């Protein structure tokens, strides 16, 4: 963008970037791409665990962006986000935009039995009522969650970023590679991934007797003798995805890779991935990974540049529709 072009746009106010404690590395990546500094804010806890936030610079009339995925510890990070939104509202920020690359509680998006909450909607209500004007997120576990908000939601995907990682080795090699959806619900995601790489698709039919436990029943499509790329939105305890990977290897696949946007990696996930027959696990940095989870088998891709470009375009009233599929 030329200086003449940038001067022609109407800004929503000076852009201010704030971050909670959930993923400061991602916030730094976004700030670097925008050539901005992260705003001064103190986040502390009282002795009983209550969260205390103080913003140490003026944000009156500013276009504020708060980076805070609601990953583990989910409740602490969610409360940090809500309190920071409230602090910005009471400080008379012009616009309050929340960047929640990973949206916690997204798996509780509907009632499947009596007396069950729809927690994804509750979290949407909390963010809206706290004072947010816009939500920016990535690869929601259930796309309909966008409709739970009465404010604008920009829902980006890391599918293009993840598929780019495999382009040099797998592009247009239908006889050697196959993209595999780990369940029927992920077919659309796997189809987008396979369309970009011009590869065939296979689908795992499974049953889930209880949460975080699954059993492979059948595979629809040809995978024998091929390198399989399992595509999902998240890896939590890694039980489902490693069972699928091991099943593919044991039944004729040459190698198995995993590509997923969100590395939740809770409980025994790291041990399961280490002990599995998976060759490599590709995730993004929507969720911060401590050193003990940064094993050699896991590779992280960076979503900061994409989110930074979205922030810039929102701040200057440019169209962001091209960013929903194109990360270039």
Q: What is the pLDDT of residue 43?
A: 96
Which residues are marked as active site? Answer: 206
| Residues in the annotated binding site for ATP | 48-50, 107-108
Name the percent of the chain lying above pLDDT 70.
93
Decide if pLDDT at 119 tops 80. yes
12 — pLDDT class (breaks 50, 70, 90) = confident
Decide if pLDDT at 245 tops 70. yes
Q: What is the pLDDT of residue 6?
A: 47
| Residues in the annotated binding site | 48-50, 107-108, 141, 183, 208, 232, 236-240
Decide if pLDDT at 157 tops 70. yes
| Average pLDDT over all residues of the chain | 93
Decide if pLDDT at 145 tops 90. yes
Decide if pLDDT at 210 tops 60. yes
| Residues in the annotated binding site for Mg(2+) | 141, 183
Q: What is the pLDDT of residue 9?
A: 54
Taking the C-alpha atoms of residue 52 and residue 21, their distance in angstroms, rounded to an integer, is 12
Of the listed ranges 109-113, 167-171, 294-298, the least confidently predicted one is 109-113
Decide if pLDDT at 328 tops 90. no
Domains and CATH numbers, the chain: 15-156+305-316 (3.40.50.2020), 159-296 (3.40.50.2020)
Decide if pLDDT at 327 tops 60. no
Q: Where are the alpha helices (DSSP H) in 101-238?
A: 119-130, 159-165, 167-170, 187-197
Decide if pLDDT at 72 tops 50. yes
Mean pLDDT of 150-159: 96
Q: What is the pLDDT of residue 4?
A: 47
Q: Which of 310, 299, 293, 26 is nearest to 165 (CA)?
A: 299
Mean pLDDT of 280-293: 97
Q: Where are the alpha helices (DSSP H) in the chain?
A: 3-8, 24-34, 74-90, 119-130, 159-165, 167-170, 187-197, 239-250, 269-275, 304-315
């Amino acid at each position: 963008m030329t200086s003449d072009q940038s001067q022609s746009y109407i800004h929503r106010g000076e852009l201010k970037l704030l971050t909670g404690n959930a993923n400061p590395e991602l916030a730094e990546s976004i700030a670097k791409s925008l050539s901005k500094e992260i705003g001064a804010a103190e986040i502390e806890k009282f002795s009983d665990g209550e969260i205390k936030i103080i913003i140490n610079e003026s944000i009156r009339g500013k276009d504020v962006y708060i980076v805070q995925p609601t990953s583990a510890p989910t409740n602490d990070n969610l409360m940090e986000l809500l309190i920071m939104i409230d602090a910005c509202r009471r400080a008379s920020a012009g616009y309050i935009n929340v960047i929640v690359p990973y949206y916690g509680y997204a798996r509780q998006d509907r009632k499947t039995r009596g007396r069950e909450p729809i927690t994804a909607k509750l979290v949407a209500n909390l963010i809206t009522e706290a004072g947010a004007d816009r939500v920016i997120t990535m690869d929601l576990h259930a796309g309909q969650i966008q409709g739970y908000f009465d404010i604008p939601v920009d829902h980006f995907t890391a599918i293009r970023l993840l598929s780019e990682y495999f382009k040099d080795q797998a592009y247009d090699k239908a006889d050697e590679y196959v993209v595999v959806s780990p369940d029927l619900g992920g077919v659309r995601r796997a189809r987008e991934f396979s369309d970009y790489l011009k590869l065939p698709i296979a689908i795992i039919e499974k049953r889930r007797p209880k949460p975080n436990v699954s059993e492979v029943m059948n595979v629809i499509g040809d995978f024998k003798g091929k390198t399989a790329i399992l595509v999902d939105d998240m890896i939590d305890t890694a039980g489902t995805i490693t069972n699928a990977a091991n099943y593919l290897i044991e039944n004729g696949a040459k190698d198995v890779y995993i590509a997923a946007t969100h590395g939740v990696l809770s409980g025994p996930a790291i041990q399961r991935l280490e002990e599995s027959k998976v060759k490599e696990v590709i995730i993004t940095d929507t969720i911060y990974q401590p050193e003990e989870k940064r094993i050699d088998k896991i590779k992280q891709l960076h979503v900061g540049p994409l989110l930074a470009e979205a922030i810039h375009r929102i701040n200057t009233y440019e169209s962001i529709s091209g960013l929903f599929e194109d990360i270039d």
